Amino acid sequence: MALEISRPWARAASTMPGTGGGFFTVVNDGAEADRLLAASTPAAETVEIHAIKVVGPGTKMRPVENGLRLPSHSTIVLKPRGYHLLLMGLKAPLVVGAKVPVTLTFEKAGNRTVDMIVEVPGLLGEDALNEQPAAS
């Protein structure tokens, strides 16, 4: 399976104490679709794959049922105010510059572990759509 994961990063959630967000880009250069089924980290009690839905002037976060589909020959970006990992029940605060190991479980590609670099919490709203984490 030809999956490439790049720019893994994380940040503490500014509105939900004890939680954090995980972000990365995944490229599926393979001929077959795959699916991100789950994620886990020793840094949190649970990790859920989430999507953001715009509801009126605000947004609502919801878990992605049945995993995140990765069509063949596609790129999916997990980012603030979009698809992301929600780390819940953090065992310690996320410290800027620290590495958080996260194991991603794909339907066909199996498990892949990445180190997410903790970045400074960013802005919400329009600025988050254009936010670029610092290069690691």
Q: How far apart are CA 7 and CA 55, in angstroms?
A: 29
Reported confidence tier of residue 130, pLDDT bands at 50, 70, 90: very low
**Is 69 contained in some domain?**
yes
Q: Which one is predicted more confidently, 128 or 85?
A: 85
Per-residue DSSP letter, 127 = H
Give the per-residue pLDDT at 1: 58
Q: Residue 126 above 50 pLDDT?
A: no
Q: Residue 12 above 90 pLDDT?
A: no
Mean pLDDT (the chain) is: 86
Reported confidence tier of residue 125, pLDDT bands at 50, 70, 90: very low
Enter the pTM of the model: 0.84
State which amino acid sits at residue 134: A
**Is 80 contained in some domain?**
yes
**Is 126 contained in some domain?**
no
Mean pLDDT of 63-79: 94
**Is 132 contained in some domain?**
no
**Is 14 contained in some domain?**
yes
Number of independent structural domains in the chain = 1
Residue ranges making up the domain that contains 41: 3-119
**Is 131 contained in some domain?**
no
**Is 95 contained in some domain?**
yes
Q: How far apart are CA 78 and CA 9, in angstroms?
A: 10
**Is 28 contained in some domain?**
yes
User: Which domain CATH number covers 74?
Assistant: 2.60.40.1890
Per-residue DSSP letter, 109 = T
Q: How far apart are CA 49 and CA 111, in angstroms?
A: 15
